[in-house]
Amino acid sequence: MTVLENMMTGFHLGGRAGVFGAALSTAGMRREEDEIRARARRALRYVKMERFAERQGNELSFGQQRIIEIGRAIANEPRVILLDEPAVGLSLPRVDELVLLLRRIRDEKGVTLIMIEHVIRAVMGVSDRIVVLNSGAKIADGPPDAVRRDQQVIDAYLGSAHHA
């Protein structure tokens, strides 16, 4: 599928025409498909990926694919998005791009982001509140600055060099 088609799948979930309308390619279905295509293009513009609309999804880099996935996740204007390690495997510049996008989604769209993440740069760059687990036990809970200074977090994840 193209990047645009991938993005459209997020909008199809909220479609009205249904299987019957799609199978018969009714006028209503065609109008809905045009509307979905336009919304998908706007979503691609929002995540700054519109230049890739006609490319095959598998031609994009891992980081670009991740951005498309997040764009698809916001397609139907959710109030909450759950993210499982969105920054894993990304280069530092891509992590920074991801952080900026997630902040925009949070701030402009009012979406609550619940993120499981090990890339500290992403966690600190996006979060208003952080809960830190170590071996399944909560060791810290609070705003990023407080968590960053928490001795248990430093010992478990950041190391003493970070604290100095």
In tens, the pLDDT along 12-38 reads 766 666 555 555 677 777 888 899 999
Q: What is the pTM of this model?
A: 0.81
DSSP string covering the chain: -BHHHHHHHHHHTT-SSHHHHHHHT-HHHHHHHHHHHHHHHHHHHHTT-GGGTTSBGGGS-HHHHHHHHHHHHTTT--SEEEEESTTTT--HHHHHHHHHHHHHHHHHH--EEEEE---HHHHHHH-SSEEEEETTEEEEEE-HHHHHH-HHHIIIII-HHHH-
Q: How far from 92 is each of 63, 88, 89, 98, 119, CA to CA, in Å?
A: 11, 10, 9, 10, 10
- Give residue-wise pLDDT tens across range 38-76: 999 999 999 999 999 999 999 999 889 999 999 999 888
pLDDT at 50: 95
Tokens 């997040």 -> residue = 70
Spatial CA neighbour of 148 closest among 89, 55, 164, 21: 164
Q: Is the pLDDT of residue 163 over 90?
A: no
- Give residue-wise pLDDT tens across range 62-121: 889 999 999 999 888 899 999 999 999 899 999 999 999 999 999 999 999 999 999 989
pLDDT at 21: 58
- What is the share, in percent, of the chain residues with pLDDT greater than 90? 70
Q: How confident is the model at residue 4 (pLDDT cuts 50, 70, 90)?
A: very high
